[in-house]
Amino acid sequence: MTVKVIKIGEDILGANEEKARANRKRLDTHGVLTVNIMSSPGAGKTSLILSTINQMKEKVKIAVIEGDVASSVDAEKVSEMGIPVVQINTEGGCHLDANMVESALNSLPLEDTELLLIENVGNLICPNEFALGEHRRVMISSLPEGDDKPLKYPAMFADSDAVLLNKIDLQPYLDYDVNAFKKVVTGLNPDVIILPVSCKTGEGMEAWFSWLESGVKNKKER
Amino acid sequence: MTVKVIKIGEDILGANEEKARANRKRLDTHGVLTVNIMSSPGAGKTSLILSTINQMKEKVKIAVIEGDVASSVDAEKVSEMGIPVVQINTEGGCHLDANMVESALNSLPLEDTELLLIENVGNLICPNEFALGEHRRVMISSLPEGDDKPLKYPAMFADSDAVLLNKIDLQPYLDYDVNAFKKVVTGLNPDVIILPVSCKTGEGMEAWFSWLESGVKNKKER
């Protein structure tokens, strides 16, 4: 039986770009390395942020913006660690945008921040289309989601500087082909760094911390 | 430290509703029970559809609409099983809508179909806002996503007739509180049916097949 394919075009908003450039300039002025963290729901964005704070907070001044459709459970966890945090509730919006981030920046101590981690809304479809003013884009893909995700959501993988392959501790219990995943991601994005990690067990996390730390260092030296 | 919360409103399109009603009327005329299957990426929509076809295709005439941002890998798997299928590529769109489904219905043998399974785009944010003409809404949530998903994406859970809690075979390897999950979901949606299943091992799937079969039977008797 043949498969019929219907393609539906959709316009993408562009006015966001200008605001994102203004945010980035502001962040540059304060020397704040800003990382936009994207993934599907439950891939481990909050766990990654909490592990990163735990590991790096003595060395690096961190602030966080939490994006969610509803609730402030993630921001509360960050706040309990003594880190400045703003929760953005998009009330149905699928992604953060530069205007939302501008509002959040007004509530953060930028003069006393070296690293800003932004947790985007859990979504593999459109967050990559909306620049926030970030310097780095990080995508988390987790093993239980399946190794076909780069085929189905290619734009998110193509637009990232680093891809964290999370929950590798579950590999013995899943049918997941890490090499197949890496091959498709590298095909979409030859310059991407792929880091297999487990936020739960800590496996592979050193490479992530080093990558972040060298980014913070480079930002300060400029 | 206190958490600052910024709320951003967003208008929701309403013109979709009329088209959805027309689709439903058309499906009613042909006696086709139509099920809209929603979840985050990788929760198991395609696995559920393939298992359902495998189990029920001798008894029930099934057709499928596959929604994806890109690719037709899922539709090809369905087609290999000899089932009529249409792939909709939304090209960046976050959800299916009633217009897309109308186009797909034009390519399916409705007069020879009893059960239409629609796989929505993998997304926990907006698919519930867009009626397609379906009779039942089914949400899949998988254990590796975490038990906090109903708190963070409440609308999707509140709008579903059934919630399948998939990948229960991974429970021994995860920190997941099934009762906490059920409590929040039931709070959002007291009438919902929650079915713990594993598409991989088959555990709990009988309850899902029975639920579908009684829906098909009721539809025919009307």
* DSSP state letters, A157-196: HHT-SEEEEE-GGGGGGS---HHHHHHHHHHH-TT-EEEE
Cross-chain CB nearest to B152 (options A71, A76, A84): A71
Residue-level pLDDT at B9 = 37
| 3-state SS, residue B180 | helix
Please indicate whether, in this complex, the C-beta atoms of B126 and A94 are within 8 angstroms of each other.
yes
Q: Which residue has the higher pLDDT, A222 or A163?
A: A163
Q: What is the mean pLDDT of residues B88-93?
A: 86
Q: What is the mean pLDDT of residues A10-29?
A: 81
Q: What is the mean pLDDT of residues B67-90?
A: 93
Chain A hits for B7, Cβ within 8 Å: 89, 91
- pLDDT > 90: what percent of chain A? 84
Q: Is A69 on the interface with B (CB under 8 A)?
A: yes
Q: Is A81 on the interface with B (CB under 8 A)?
A: no
Residue-level pLDDT at B16 = 86
For residue B195, count CB atoms less than 10 angstroms from its CB and return exposed for 0-12, middle for 13-18, buried for 19 or more. buried
Of B168, B137, B130, which Cα lies nearest the Cα of B16? B130
Q: Which residue has the higher pLDDT, A220 or B100?
A: B100
Residue-level pLDDT at A117 = 98
Q: Which of A40, A103, A140, A176 to mutate to probe the B interface, most B CBs <10 Å?
A: A40
Instruction: Kindly tell me if the per-residue pLDDT of A22 is higher than 70.
Output: yes
**Per residue in B149-206, pLDDT tens?**
999 999 999 999 999 999 999 999 999 999 999 999 999 999 999 999 999 999 999 9
Cross-chain CB nearest to B94 (options A86, A125, A142): A125
Instruction: Kindly tell me if the per-residue pLDDT of A175 is higher than 60.
Output: yes
Instruction: Kindly tell me if the per-residue pLDDT of A216 is higher than 60.
Output: yes
Q: What is the mean pLDDT of residues A176-185?
A: 97
Please indicate whether, in this complex, the C-beta atoms of A145 and B91 are within 8 angstroms of each other.
no
Instruction: Kindly tell me if the per-residue pLDDT of A2 is higher than 90.
Output: no
HEC sequence for A132-153: CCCCEEEEEEEHHHCCCHHHHC
Beta-carbon contacts below 8 Å between A and B: 193
Task: Let me know how many helices (H) and strands (E) chain A has, helices first.
Answer: 8, 8
Distance between A80 CA and the closest CA of chain B, angstroms: 7
Residue-level pLDDT at A93 = 85
Chain A hits for B71, Cβ within 8 Å: 151-152
Residue-level pLDDT at A71 = 87
Q: Which residues in chain A (180-209) have CB-CB distances under 8 A to chain B?
A: none
Q: Is B153 on the interface with A (CB under 8 A)?
A: yes
Residue-level pLDDT at B8 = 43
**Average pLDDT of chain B, as a whole number:** 92
Assigned CATH class of A2-221: alpha beta
Instruction: Kindly tell me if the per-residue pLDDT of A5 is higher than 60.
Output: no
Instruction: Kindly tell me if the per-residue pLDDT of A34 is higher than 60.
Output: yes
Please indicate whether, in this complex, the C-beta atoms of B122 and A5 are within 8 angstroms of each other.
no
Instruction: Kindly tell me if the per-residue pLDDT of A3 is higher than 80.
Output: no
Indicate the pLDDT class of residue A16, thresholds 50, 70 and 90. Answer: confident
Of B93, B98, B95, B94, which Cα lies nearest the Cα of B16? B98
Distance between B3 CA and the closest CA of chain A, angstroms: 6
Instruction: Kindly tell me if the per-residue pLDDT of A66 is higher than 80.
Output: yes
Instruction: Kindly tell me if the per-residue pLDDT of A208 is higher than 60.
Output: yes
Cross-chain CB nearest to A8 (options B100, B148, B151): B100
Write the CB contacts of B175 (distance below 8 Å, at least 6 apart in sequence): none
Task: Domain ranges for chain B, please list them.
Answer: 2-221
For residue B175, count CB atoms less than 10 angstroms from its CB and return exposed for 0-12, middle for 13-18, buried for 19 or more. exposed
**Average pLDDT of chain A, as a whole number:** 92
Cross-chain CB nearest to B126 (options A92, A149, A167): A92
Of B176, B150, B180, which Cα lies nearest the Cα of A71? B150
Write the CB contacts of B144 (distance below 8 Å, at least 6 apart in sequence): A42, A142, A143, A144, A145, A167, A170, B167, B170, B174
**Per residue in A93-136, pLDDT tens?**
889 999 999 999 999 999 999 999 999 999 999 899 899 999 99
Residue-level pLDDT at A91 = 82
Q: Which residue in the block uniquely carries the two structure tokens 């399948």?
A: B164
- pLDDT > 70: what percent of chain A? 94
Instruction: Kindly tell me if the per-residue pLDDT of B12 is higher than 50.
Output: no
Q: Is B218 on the interface with A (CB under 8 A)?
A: no
Indicate the pLDDT class of residue A220, thresholds 50, 70 and 90. Answer: confident
**Per residue in B15-34, pLDDT tens?**
788 899 999 999 999 999 99
Q: Is B104 on the interface with A (CB under 8 A)?
A: yes
Distance between A30 CA and the closest CA of chain B, angstroms: 22
